[in-house]
Chains A and B, each alone.
Chain A
Amino acid sequence: MADVRLTVNGVPREGRCEPRKLLVDFLREDLELTGTHVGCEHGICGACTVLVNGEAARACLMLAVQADGAEITTVEGLMKDGKLHPLQEAFREHHGLQCGFCTPGMLLTALDLLRTNPAPSEDEVREGLSAVLCRCTGYHGIVKAVRAAAATLAPPR
């Protein structure tokens, strides 16, 4: 067993687990943060995407022990002071979710996309979001939401 100490959504957390425990399972089972979803467990579907030290990464392709000392952001960390993140607002406004299974991964992936490319074209949004699979085929709404959020989040000129 190994000790894991990390910061999740700004809060110091710790746990003890086997080295083989995946970060996504540690978040869900040990820290009871079930907003991050487990999909394919081999890095294809993107449902488990979280931010690791500010960068989007697959939580099913990292061991929890590897996150020792890291700062993790999950979907639970997006709301601030009881208000939805502008990206979440945009998803609600533009029909960016149906069943919601892919939504946490979509949100964290889109957040990283907008940080690296604050004003993406529609093609760039589609390419960036190809990292996450939505089986409701709701991509149109998701793309619209991300583009709308880009406009809201863009620093004023």
Chain B
Amino acid sequence: MKPPKFEYHAPSTLDEVIALLVRYDGDAKVLAGGQSLVPLLNFRLARPAALVDLNRIKSLAYIQEHDGHVRFGAMTRQRTIEFSPVVARRLPLLREATRWVGHLPIRSRGTIGGSIAHADPSAEYPAVLTALGGEVVARGPKGERTLPPADLFETYLTTTLAADEVLTEVRLPAMPEGAGWAFEEFARRRGDFAIVGVAAAVWRDGSRVTARLATAGVGPVPTRLRACEEIVERDGLTDAAIDAAARRASELVEPDADIHASADYRRHLAGVLTARALTRARETARG
């Protein structure tokens, strides 16, 4: 099918974007990479009065290191992230997760801001944002605010962003030197939406272990597995601790069933993938 009619705006500044969002009062959609929104338009599942296209705003595409964080303009393409030396060095978990996002031709257009604002619970970037404890910047008519993932993701495909707010930046804390990482995912075919995914990062500081774990695809929002992190932080990255953390992951998650997988199967996968992710993160960690 073809998209329904809409008014099209491609402003060159964020101020114009926000003015348009105010004017349409909830009846406009923000167009980023379009890899989720355009299918919804083609199927006519979305019928906005207007599209506000961010693709002409050059200042929204950047990767900057800043005070222990890496800042991504919302319109930074997934492909740019995949091949970024800064990301390879500071955020290898994000780089690995990026390769699970659709396929290369999808990542040529898809953006980090769009993926996070779309809030698909099976998506990789929301899980990485959650695991690493990053934050996003949103701008609206009243100015800017920053939100941690727990305050951003509300439920399936829904964030707490207001209709006149636009996500402008994603900030992720750089992973410490020597940190290990893994993004494990299960899907029926390469490039399909994840049935379950697990993002893991671990690092050692002397005898102290820090772990970060979050899931995709189990429940309406990405889930940080704090209780599992605590097990390996307390007992170290031993096989027994990883097994215990994996069992705890299966208990903690509250997946829903859908056409792709039952809730039990997702619960099972959460445990299996947690074990695999922690094991591989342990292998990639140094120091």
Identify the A interface with B (CB < 8 A): 2, 18-22, 25, 41-43, 46, 49, 52, 55-58, 60-63, 65-66, 109, 112-113, 116, 127-128, 130-131
Q: Could you tell me the dominant secondary structure of chain A's interface residues?
A: mixed
A61 B39 Cβ-Cβ under 8 A:
yes
Q: Known interface pairs A62-B38, A131-B191. Does A20 touch B4 (Cβ–Cβ under 8 Å)?
A: yes
In whole angstroms, how far apart are the Cα atoms of A127 and B2 in the complex? 29
A131 lies within 8 A of B53 (CB): no
Query: How many angstroms between the C-alpha atoms of A128 and B55 in the bound complex?
Result: 26
The interface residues of chain B lying within 8 Å CB-to-CB of A42 are 38-39, 42-43
Q: Is the interface of B mostly helix, strand, loop or mixed?
A: loop
What residues of chain A lie closer than 8 Å to B1, measured between beta carbons? 41
Number of A-B contacts (CB under 8 A): 93
A56 and B104 in contact, given A20-B4, A62-B109, A130-B189 (Cβ under 8 angstroms): yes
The smallest beta-carbon distance between A15 and chain B, in angstroms, is 15
A62 CA to B109 CA, complexed, in Å: 9
Q: Given A25, A49, A66, A130, which contacts B2 in the complex, CB threshold below 8 Å?
A: A25
A61 touches B190 (CB 8 A): no
Q: How far is the CB of A57 from chain B (nearest CB, A)?
A: 5
Contact A52:B38 (CB < 8 A) given known A20-B6, A65-B8: no
The answer on a CB contact under 8 Å between A56 and B105 is yes
Known contacts A20-B3, A66-B55; is-contact A57 B189 (Cβ 8 Å): no
Interface centre among A18, A58, A130 (most CB of B within 10 A): A58
Contact with A along B1-21 (1 / 0, CB 8 A): 111111110100000000000
